[in-house]
Structure 1
């Protein structure tokens, strides 16, 4: 007796891959129905088939996991008991039926989806419906042969207790099953490509859509791998549990990947919305960085009496500095437009901002009746500079101009 242990590499791999694939396929179906609900789309045959396919996939994964934990699947055949072998053989009858129906239904779902999109293209519907009929017959025939392949029925898993059993040639049956399944996968994969390239779209969009539909090439690879292993009948008879582990892993992988690939075209709106949200977030971040760049330490140049912004409370100083810059800019424009008042304004600013004394009236030789109003305006504009003076900060550019003016006078 060799009970399952978590340190067994291959059996644990089967359990993890099967469970993760089942969760991923369920997530894809949930996103599919959510996308359709957001776009207010009606449910059709493809939606019902994909749900039924997942239910059979659930039965497939549960049966395979039981084979791993209780039937010795994935372990060396030499250490597996007869009871474990009988348990696994019985479970493989269930696995054969559920796996076949799961893959068949997802193929029908995908074909119905193609018909709803490309049905208006000539000759597409007859080909699609023909493939759908072949797929349905394939699934039904494989299911019947799996259940009625041996007489009596118990001989499907216990031939020792039924020595007079009669069974079909299982090796040829498995090879035929794998070959037909691989052919259908490739045919369904290639079916929409000619229709896509007939659409009036840009070449880049045609390539993108083609790549989206050709993701199913992974399923074709899995089907072909199963076909290769089905031809190794000698290995199956001498290493049944190892062979059964590989078949179980590939079977669940094919069913889960088929569901995910069938749901991907329906998730385009979610991908577009998600991409727009990401671009909007990145654009917002770039805009924020551009706004903050002038205040970063790398772009700010220190001036006389400037103080470093070290906390949130320094925002008031930042606002005052900005007002001072605007006031100085306005003052410069005013002086160029009204040169007669520049002298008296500069003198008054020098007296009040630098020396802190009263204005010197002897410098007001300009007609004061003309300049008095302009001087008052200049003082009101320069008031933010006086506010900075209270915080021990000086407008260096303006003071320098005032001192030059004073020296000329």
Structure 2
């Protein structure tokens, strides 16, 4: 069973974007209900998710329009009689068939023009969300300064690449002109006046390189600060592991850059690797959203981990003083009866206060308690 590569892009795009939507929703739940605060970093990630849904919708229309023609139909010139092909019971020349595919071709060119713009902006918002999170936790002045510099750089190059993508041609509408696109396959020079456009492949390779560079910078930016924390090494390594989840986005960016190099070699290669380029673009954007949001989801299990500990707490009552099960007896009548008299008629008292001799040395206040006799008996 043959499955179009464009249809695979649509399936993967909708699956990954749906997963990203679930992750971002859980992130909002944790931030609002568990932490009690939703910040700029969360809103930036939500904007990136909406733009990713826009890219997924554009991929759907790219597959729908491109499935109505084959790139091999562009290779026959218009100026000479084209060979005839049999389609069912009708004989249709390629010259007559070309106007039939122009509507679908125009849709493909428009969606590609829109995709180049929204793709770069979506990646920009993903990176800004991560950088604003760094900015919120940054306490060191140098780290905070580096975060601000990276934010400014990401915004500037995204703005420049977006403007360059919009004005790929002197007249922006020439970017989706079917006449200008088909003129490069006619084989007769001078028949159609070419529009004033620049070759966009260099721009795409440059932006792919900058995206990979900024991904690596954002990954490595907090590591020196994490290594300098005064916590056990195991906790530092755990924090580094959490922040290194974005390594998947870097791998996807590397693969996409390699596909971009193959895609930009020729128009035939562009038709061959176009679906792969869109596929890895979806993987790169969604992996950035997921990897930046997953560390917040640990708060979901915070209460579940604490409840068993509280249930296991048992209040141990103080141990009773052993009394051999005999009640204490106080003969209070002796305080009121006449004491025994001695030979000289004075009462005789039994000793009841005794200061041990050990207090006479080696203890605090021994000078005050030091007796003149070994024992002081009253």
Q: How high is the TM-score relative to the length of structure 1? A: 0.62
Other-structure match for 2:110: 90
Paired residue secondary structure (1:232): helix
Match of 2:37 among 20, 42, 49: 42
Paired residue secondary structure (1:41): coil
CA deviation after TM superposition for structure 1 residue 86, in Å: 2.9
Structure 2 unaligned blocks of 5 or more: 75-100, 181-191, 313-378
In the alignment, the residues of structure 1 paired with residue 303 and residue 122 of structure 2 have an alpha-carbon distance, to the nearest angstrom, of 31
CA deviation after TM superposition for structure 1 residue 42, in Å: 2.5
In the alignment, the residues of structure 1 paired with residue 302 and residue 260 of structure 2 have an alpha-carbon distance, to the nearest angstrom, of 42
Q: What CA RMSD, in Å, does the superposition of the two structures yield over aligned residues?
A: 2.6
In the alignment, the residues of structure 1 paired with residue 258 and residue 44 of structure 2 have an alpha-carbon distance, to the nearest angstrom, of 29
Other-structure match for 1:238: 268
Contact 2:106–2:178 (Cα < 8 Å) also in 1: no
Paired residue secondary structure (2:179): coil
Contact 1:32–1:266 (Cα < 8 Å) also in 2: yes
Contact 1:77–1:240 (Cα < 8 Å) also in 2: no
CA deviation after TM superposition for structure 1 residue 224, in Å: 1.7
Count of aligned pairs between the two proteins: 274
Other-structure match for 2:241: 211
Other-structure match for 1:52: 47
1:257 aligns with 2:312: no
Other-structure match for 1:114: 134
In the alignment, the residues of structure 1 paired with residue 266 and residue 33 of structure 2 have an alpha-carbon distance, to the nearest angstrom, of 49
Q: How high is the TM-score relative to the length of structure 2? A: 0.66
1:382-393, aligned counterparts within 5 Å?
A: none
1:26 aligns with 2:45: no
CA deviation after TM superposition for structure 1 residue 25, in Å: 0.9
Paired residue secondary structure (1:212): helix
CA deviation after TM superposition for structure 1 residue 39, in Å: 2.5
In the alignment, the residues of structure 2 paired with residue 98 and residue 263 of structure 1 have an alpha-carbon distance, to the nearest angstrom, of 21
Other-structure match for 1:69: 64
Structure 1 unaligned blocks of 5 or more: 1-5, 285-409
For each residue in 1:172-197, what CA deviation from the matched residue of structure 2 results, as whole angstroms up to 9, or x when unmatched? 11111111110000000111111111
1:179-198, aligned counterparts within 5 Å?
A: 179-198=209-228
Contact 2:263–2:270 (Cα < 8 Å) also in 1: no
Other-structure match for 1:127: 146
Contact 2:227–2:236 (Cα < 8 Å) also in 1: yes
1:160 aligns with 2:155: no
CA deviation after TM superposition for structure 1 residue 26, in Å: 0.7
Match of 2:72 among 62, 73, 78: 78
Paired residue secondary structure (2:135): helix
Change (3 A) 1:30 1:216: same
Paired residue secondary structure (2:141): coil
Which deviates the most, 235-244 or 259-268? Answer: 235-244
In the alignment, the residues of structure 1 paired with residue 286 and residue 65 of structure 2 have an alpha-carbon distance, to the nearest angstrom, of 23
1:276-355, aligned counterparts within 5 Å?
A: none
In the alignment, the residues of structure 1 paired with residue 70 and residue 269 of structure 2 have an alpha-carbon distance, to the nearest angstrom, of 7
1:268 aligns with 2:287: no
